[in-house]
Amino acid sequence: MAVSKKEALLQAAKDLFGECGYNETTFKKIAERADVAMGLMTHHFGNKEKLFLACGLDVLENFHRKLSEATSCAPDGRTAIYNYCKAYLDFSIDPSTNWLVLVRCSPYSDMKTSADRDIMIEKFMQIHAVLIDAIKRGLEDNSIAKVDPVQTAIIIVSLMVGVNRTRVLTPYAPEHFYEEALDFVIRAVTPGNA
Amino acid sequence: MAVSKKEALLQAAKDLFGECGYNETTFKKIAERADVAMGLMTHHFGNKEKLFLACGLDVLENFHRKLSEATSCAPDGRTAIYNYCKAYLDFSIDPSTNWLVLVRCSPYSDMKTSADRDIMIEKFMQIHAVLIDAIKRGLEDNSIAKVDPVQTAIIIVSLMVGVNRTRVLTPYAPEHFYEEALDFVIRAVTPGNA
Amino acid sequence: MAVSKKEALLQAAKDLFGECGYNETTFKKIAERADVAMGLMTHHFGNKEKLFLACGLDVLENFHRKLSEATSCAPDGRTAIYNYCKAYLDFSIDPSTNWLVLVRCSPYSDMKTSADRDIMIEKFMQIHAVLIDAIKRGLEDNSIAKVDPVQTAIIIVSLMVGVNRTRVLTPYAPEHFYEEALDFVIRAVTPGNA
Amino acid sequence: MAVSKKEALLQAAKDLFGECGYNETTFKKIAERADVAMGLMTHHFGNKEKLFLACGLDVLENFHRKLSEATSCAPDGRTAIYNYCKAYLDFSIDPSTNWLVLVRCSPYSDMKTSADRDIMIEKFMQIHAVLIDAIKRGLEDNSIAKVDPVQTAIIIVSLMVGVNRTRVLTPYAPEHFYEEALDFVIRAVTPGNA
DNA sequence: GATGAATGAGGCTTCATTCAT
DNA sequence: CATGAATGAAGCCTCATTCAT
C-alpha cells in the first residue's frame, strides 16, 4: 500500500477541515473521502478533537520548517524579515500545505480541551520565535530601525493573520494585495522611517 | 416590561454567540438566558442563521456609527485614520458592544445561505469605506504619504483584524499592544516614511 | 389523550428495563414501544440513567406504599413483620408492579452518577425503615423475641432479596417456596426460638 | 514466563468483570490489563460470553471445592451447615477469589446463549447439593430440626445470596452483619426452635 | 404574540469481532 | 501462538425546527 490508512485519514481530515471548517467536517465525510471505516478514526486518533490537533500540528510543523528555511538563508536581518513574511504568505495560498485548516478552524474555539489547546499554543509560539530572531538579527546588523523585537514580531504576525484572512476568506482583497502588504511591513521596519 | 421579549432574545443571542461561537450556541441556551420560550425564536427571527445575521448586523451598525463619528470629528486626514483605528480597537474590547459575535462566529463559515452572507459582506464594505474616505482626506490635505487609498485601507483593516484576534483570542498580546499597533499604522502612512 | 407521552415513555421504560435489563434496553426499543420519537426521552428525562432513576423511584414508591399499608393494619408487631414479608413477596411477583426493574437492573452497578445512586439508596432506606418499625413494635408488644431491630431488619430484607432472586431469576425455586420462606422468617423471630 | 498469556487473560478478565460488570468490561480493557493483544481473546476463548463463562466457572469451581472441604470436615450435620455458610461468606469477601464476578455480572442476564447459561446453572446446582447433603446429614444425626432438606437448602442459599449482596453492593450492612446472619441460620435449623 | 412538547435526522463514539501478517 | 489494524453496526444524545394550544 502506498500510503497507510492512517495517513490517508489524516490527509482527508486536513482537506475537509480546511474546506468545511471544524463543525461541518464530520467523521462520515472524512471516512468516505479516505475510503476507510468510520471506527478507524477513533482507533488511530482517539476522538475528533485529537484528530484536529494532529492535523493542525502537521500543518504547523511544515509551516515552521518553511519559515525557518526562509529566514536562515537571508543575507541580513531585514531580508530575513521580508523572507519570513513572503514565506508566510506563500505558504498560506499553496493548496498543498492545507493551510486553511488553521484558518477555517479555530484552535482557540474548536478545541475544548485545554491541554490540546496548550499544545497548539506552544507550537504557535515557535512560529513567533522565528520572526523574533530575524528581527534581533536586523537590530544587530543595523538593517532595520530600532524597534522592540517581541512587540514588532507580534504586530507583524498579526498583520500576516489579517491580510491572510482578508485574502482567503473575503472578497475584498485587491490585486497585488500580498505584495502591498510586504511593502507595508518593510516600510515600517526600515531605518529612517521610524 | 422594560425590554420586549424580542429584544431580550437578541441580546441573549449576541451574548452567547460571542461567548460560545455559532455551533455551541443553541436555541435552548438562548431561550434560557432570555427567559423566553424556544418557539419564540423562529417566530421572531425565522431560523438560527437569520438570528445570527440580526446579531451580526446589529453589532456592525453600532460599529459603523462609532467609526463614522470618530473620523468625522478629526481635524485632518491623518488624525481621521488614527481615530478610526483607535475607535476600532476600543470597540473591540468593550464588552457592551458584543464585538465577539464577529470574532467567535465566522460570517464566512457559519452562514450557509449566500444571500445572508452577501448582506453581511455589504455591511463590511461600509466599514472599509469609512477608512477609505479618511485616507482620501489625508491625501487631499497632505497629512499622509502618497498611497493607494483602497489598498492601504484594506491593509490597515487587515492589521486591525489581526491585532484584534491576537488580543482577544490568543495569549500572545503583550502590554500596550494596541498602542504599538496604532504607532505602527501611523508610522506607515506618515509622509517621509514611504 | 388518555395518557401523556411522558407517561407512556415511563411505562415502556419500566417494562423494558424489567424484561431486558439496563444495557439491553435501548432508546430505540423504548421509543418504539411507547410509540414516540427517540428525542422525547432526553427531552423529558435528560438521559438514560435519569430515565432509569425515574423508573426505579416510581416502582419503589409504590412498593413503599404497599409495605406501609401492610404493616400499619397489623394487630401486633409479629403480624406486621409477617405482613411486610408477604407484601414484599407478593409485590415481587405481580407483573403490574414492574418489580423486575429493580432485579434486572442494578441500582448499584448501572447508575454511574453517584448523585443518582444516592437518591436511590435513600429510597431503599425507607423500605428498611418500615420493617425496623414493625420489629420495634413487636419488641414493645412482646410478640417477638428479643432481637436487635436494625440487624434483624437488614437480615430479613436480605432474605427477601435472596428468595426473590431465586424465584424470579433462577430455575431452583421449588413449589411453595415463598410460603416456606415466610415460615422461616417467623420461626426466627418468634419468642422461645432464640 | 511465569504465567501463560491465556492465564493472564483469564485473571485480568476475572478482575475486570468483578470490578466493572459485564458490559463495562471491554476486550480492550482486558487486553491492556493482561498486557496482551486483543486478538488473543477470541483466539483462546471464542467470544466475550465464552470468556465470561470461563471466568464464572473458574470461580464456581474454587467455590465448590471450598464448600465441600468446609462441610466434609464437620463433626455433625448442624456444624456442616454452619461451616457451609461460613465458608460461603468468607469466600465472598476474599478478594483473591474474584467472587465479584458472580455478583456484578449476572449469569441470567448477561449470558444470551442458553447453552452457556445451562452450564452455569448446572454448576450452581452442585453448590446447592453440598448444602442439601449437609442438611440430610443433620437430619440423620438429629443435630437439626425436622425440615425439608431441599426447601431449606434453597432458602439458606437465598439468604446467603441476599446478605452477600447487602454487604458487597450496598451501604446498609452493619458491623458483625455476617456473624448475625450465621446466628440467624443456626437459630432457624436448631431443634426446638421449629 | 407566546409556549414547550414533540419530532427525527444526524453527530460522535464504542466495541466485539475479523483477518492479514 | 500472537499481533493490532481494520471493520461497521449500533448506541446515546443533540438540536434546529414544527405545531397544537
Which run of H or E residues covers position A162?
helix A149-169
Q: Is the CB of C43 under 7 A from strand F?
A: yes
Instruction: Name the phi and psi angles at A113, rounded to 5.
Output: -85, 120
Of B34-43, C93-102, D11-20, D181-190, the poorest mean pLDDT is in D181-190
The predicted pLDDT at position D107 comes to 83
Q: Is residue A109 pLDDT above 70, yes or no?
A: yes
- Nearest nt to the CA of D38 via C1' is F4
Distance CA C173, CA C44 (A): 40
- Rounded to an integer, the average pLDDT of C54-64 is 97
Please state, in angstroms and rounded to a whole number, the distance separating the CA atoms of residues D69 and D64.
9
pLDDT bracket for residue A108 (50, 70, 90): confident
Residue of A nearest to B170 (CA): A108
Give the C-alpha separation, C77 to C84, whole Å: 10
Task: Pick the residue from chain B with its C-alpha nearest to A181.
Answer: B155
Helix axes A5-24, A48-72, angle to 10 degrees: 100
With CB atoms and an 8 Å threshold, state whether C154 touches D148.
no
Query: Inter-chain contact B109–A104, Cβ cutoff 8 Å?
Result: yes
- How far is B43 from chain A, CA to nearest CA, in Å? 26
Q: Is A150 on the interface with B (CB under 8 A)?
A: yes
Q: Which pLDDT tens digit goes with each residue over B17-27?
A: 999 999 999 99
d(Cα D90, Cα D63) in Å, to the nearest integer?
A: 10
Return all residues near D102 (Cβ < 8 A) that are at least 6 apart.
D56, D59, D60
Q: Which residue of A has its CA nearest to B157?
A: A162
Find out whether A166 and B154 touch, Cβ atoms under 8 Å: yes
The Cα–Cα gap between B11 and A61 comes to 41
Tell me the nt nearest to A9, Cα to C1': F6
Confidence bin at C194 (pLDDT 50/70/90): very low
The nucleotide whose C1' lies nearest the CA of A49 is E12
Helix (H) or strand (E) holding B15: helix B5-24
**What is the C-alpha end-to-end distance of chain C, expressed in Å?**
58
- Per-residue confidence (pLDDT) for residue A192, from 0 to 100: 73
Q: What are the start-end ranges of the H helices in chain C? A: 5-24, 27-34, 39-45, 48-72, 77-92, 100-104, 114-140, 149-169, 177-189
Chains with 3 or more CB pairs closer than 8 angstroms to A? B
List, for residues A138-160, the tens digit of each pLDDT value: 999 999 999 999 999 999 999 99
Percent of chain B predicted with pLDDT > 70 = 98
How big is the CA angle at A159 (ends A154 and A160), to the nearest 5 degrees?
Answer: 95
What lies within 8 Å, CB to CB, of D143 at 6+ separation is: D76, D77, D78, D79, D191
Q: Which nucleotide is nearest to D1 (CA to C1')?
A: F1
- What is the rounded average pLDDT for all residues in chain B? 94
Cross-chain Cβ contact D170/C121 below 8 Å: yes
CA nearest to D159, candidates D182, D189, D131 = D182
Shortest CA gap C130–chain D (Å): 15
Which cell goes with A29?
465525510
Nearest alpha-carbon partner for C31 in C10, C1, C57 = C10
The count of other CB atoms within 10 Å of the CB of residue A74 is 18
List all nucleotides in chain F with at least one atom under 7 A from a protein Cβ. Answer: 1-20
Please give the Cα distance from D43 to B135 (Å, whole number).
Answer: 77
Q: Does D179 touch chain C (CB under 8 A)?
A: no
Instruction: Give the closest-approach CA distance of D77 to chain C in angstroms.
Output: 19
Instruction: Single out the residue of A6, A169, A25, A39 nearest to residue A110, CA to CA.
Output: A25
Distance CA D150, CA D125 (A): 11
Nearest chain D Cα distance for residue C163, angstroms: 5
- Give the separation between CA C175 and CA B139, rounded to whole angstroms: 106
**Positive or negative torsion for Cα A28, A32, A34, A39:** positive
Task: Identify the closest residue of chain C to D129 by CA–CA distance.
Answer: C172
Ordered mean pLDDT values, 10 residues apiece, chain D (194 residues): 85 96 96 95 95 96 98 96 98 97 90 91 95 97 94 96 96 93 90 63
Chain B segment 16-35 residues within 8 A of A by beta carbon are 21-23
Are residues C154 and D173, on separate chains, in Cβ contact within 8 Å? Answer: yes
CA of D37 to C1' of F4 (A): 7
Of D121, D157, D188, the CB nearest to C188: D188
A44 touches strand F (CB under 7 A): yes
The predicted structure's pLDDT at residue D187: 85
pLDDT band at A1 (very low <50, low <70, confident <90, very high): low
> Half-sphere exposure of residue C163, counting CA atoms within 13 Å on the CB side?
30
Chains that touch C (3 or more CB pairs under 8 A): D
Alpha-carbon distances, residue A49 vs A27, A109, B111 (angstroms): 11, 11, 23
| Cα distance between residue D51 and residue D15, in whole Å | 13
To the nearest whole angstrom, how far is the Cα of C181 from the nearest Cα of chain D?
7
Contact, A97 vs A125, CB < 8 A?
A: no
Judged by DSSP in three states, C141 sits in coil
Nucleotides of E under 7 A from a protein CB: 1-20
Residue with cell 528555511: A69
Separation between Cα atoms, residue C96 and residue C148, nearest integer Å:
35
Question: Which of D161, D178, D179 is the best residue to mutate to test the C interface, defined by the most C CB atoms within 10 Å of its own CB?
Answer: D161
Do residue A163 and residue B157 have CB atoms under 8 angstroms apart? Answer: no
| Statement: the CB of C48 is under 7 Å from strand F | yes
- Which residues make Cβ contacts (< 8 Å) with residue A189, sequence separation at least 6? A78, A81, A135, A138, A144, A145, A147, A152
For residues D100 and B118, give the distance between their C-alpha atoms in angstroms, rounded to a whole number: 65
Residue C113: φ, ψ to 5°: -80, 120
Q: Are C150 and D174 in contact (CB under 8 A)?
A: yes
Residue with cell 488624525: B79
Smallest Cβ–Cβ distance between D193 and the set C124, C161, C193 belongs to C193
The full DSSP string for D134-148 is HHHHHHHTT-S-S--
- CB-based burial label for C173 (10 Å; 0-12, 13-18, 19+): buried
CA of D164 to C1' of F12 (A): 33
Q: B104 at the A interface (CB within 8 A)?
A: yes
Q: What is the pLDDT of residue D194?
A: 46
Distance C29 CA to E14 C1' (A): 19
Facing residue for A177 by CB, picked from B23, B154, B181: B154
Q: How many helices (H) and strands (E) does chain B have?
A: 9, 0
DSSP codes joined into one string, B94-144: -GGGTTHHHHHS-TTTT---HHHHHHHHHHHHHHHHHHHHHHHHHHHTT-S
Q: Which residue has the cell 451580526?
A: B56
The 10s digit of each residue's pLDDT in B159-184 is 999 999 999 999 999 999 999 999 98
Residues of C in contact with D176 (CB under 8 A): 151
D161 and chain C in contact, CB less than 8 A: yes
Secondary structure (3-state) at C148: coil
Side chain identity at residue B88, one-letter code: Y
Contacts of C171 in chain D (CB under 8 A): 121
Residue pLDDT, tens place only, A51-83:
999 999 999 999 999 999 999 999 999 999 999
Which of A108, A181, A193 has the CB atom closest to B187's CB atom? A193
Strands (E), A49-91: none
d(CA C32, CA C28): 6
**Alpha-carbon span A49 to A41, nearest angstrom:** 11
Estimate in Å the CA C26 to C1' F10 gap, whole number: 10
pLDDT of amino acid A194: 46
